[in-house]
Amino acid sequence: MENNEVRMPCHVTIIMDGNGRWAKKQGKLRLFGHNVGVESVRECCEYAVENGIRYLSLFAFSEENWGRPKAEVEGLMALMVKSVLAERPTFMKQNVRFRVIGHRESLPEDVLKNIELAENETSGNTGLNLIVMLSYSGKWDIVQAARRLAKATLEAGHEIDIDEAVFSSYLSTEGIPDPDLMIRTSGEQRLSNYMLWQCAYTEFYFSPVLWPDFRKKDLDLAIRSFNSRERRYGKTE
Ligand code: IPE
Ligand code: IPE
Ligand code: MG
């Protein structure tokens, strides 16, 4: 699906929600919904590649999601490994740079290993930046930045002059522009501790579609809505 008349946001971020409800509607286990959701990820990546979107970030697993039943967490981690392995050739073919952002220390070793292999393999790719937010939360990000800044101050032996740019450079999203558009699927209208700092001036779009049903046409609707917004950043026009 190519779109010539529509202006593309530089960074689109998606809170992929509704897998469990989708599975329940089919009388299946929640994990079935997560598995089918991978096809929606593929569709969105393809749309982003076709339309020259520079950054697509996807909220795949929150710090809070560690509190879900063990079988679901293990299933999600296994799905991550399987998907990364399966998609690596496509990333190379489509010139996609793959990265994971989140609290890496809490990830199982095989997940970490496979992520790093894909990150290294795709590090020279110059097309779409695909960022999977895994074991991520907005408050975690702000706290880890503050902690590292405090350490840098100690090491420097003097106070570091902290402004917004300096603080941003300690966030896990360093170097990545703030999202222009945040999409959340499944009708939920909340941020769920996602990119709290980075979404300060992001446009929000809430889709009623459950993630496993989300297709290019649904992403296109969100981007068309974004095109109709006037971003004022506190000014008058
Ligand atoms: C989103 O779907 C995927 C993750 C949070 C890992 P959910 O699993 O939250 O699905 P619902 O919200 O229960 O339907
Ligand atoms: C947010 O969804 C996390 C991800 C989509 C990865 P949740 O389904 O976990 O959020 P809540 O619990 O409804 O706020
Ligand atoms: Mg949910």
Q: Are 222 and 183 in contact (CB under 8 A)?
A: yes
Question: What pLDDT does residue 5 have?
Answer: 82
Question: What pLDDT does residue 1 have?
Answer: 63
Give yes or no: 17 in active site. yes
> 37 C-alpha to center of ligand 2: Å?
14
Cβ–ligand 2 distance for 61 under 6 Å, the answer yes
- Which residue reads 């009623």 in tokens? 208
| Average pLDDT value for the chain | 97
pLDDT in tens, 61-83: 999 999 999 999 999 999 999 99
Cα torsion through 214, 23, 20, 111, rounded to 10 = -80
Share of the chain above pLDDT 70, in %: 98
Question: What pLDDT does residue 36 have?
Answer: 98
Q: Give per-10-residue mean pLDDT for the chain (237 aa).
A: 82 99 98 98 98 98 98 98 98 98 98 98 98 98 97 92 97 98 98 98 98 98 97 91
Give yes or no: 129 in active site. no
Question: What pLDDT does residue 2 have?
Answer: 62
Residue with CA closest to ligand 2 atom 1: 192
Cα torsion through 24, 28, 32, 33, rounded to 10 = -20
Residues with CB under 6 A from ligand 1: 16-21, 30, 61, 65, 76, 186
Report DSSP letters for the chain, one per residue: ---SSSPPPSEEEEE---HHHHHHHTT--HHHHHHHHHHHHHHHHHHHHHTT-SEEEEEEEEGGGGGS-HHHHHHHHHHHHHHHHHHHHHHHHTTPEEEEES-GGGS-HHHHHHHHHHHHHHTT--S-EEEEEEEE-HHHHHHHHHHHHHHHHHHHTS-----HHHHHTTSTTTTSPPPSEEEE-TT----TT-STTTTTTPEEEE--S-GGG--HHHHHHHHHHHHT----TTS--
Amino acid at position 166, single letter = V
Q: Which CATH class is domain 11-137+178-226?
A: alpha beta
Read off the pTM: 0.97
> 19 C-alpha to center of ligand 1: Å?
5
What does residue 219 show for φ and ψ, rounded to 5 degrees?
-65, -40
Closest atom of ligand 1 to CA, residue 188: 12
pLDDT in tens, 15-44: 999 999 999 999 999 999 999 999 999 999
Residue 94 CB neighbour total at 10 angstroms:
18
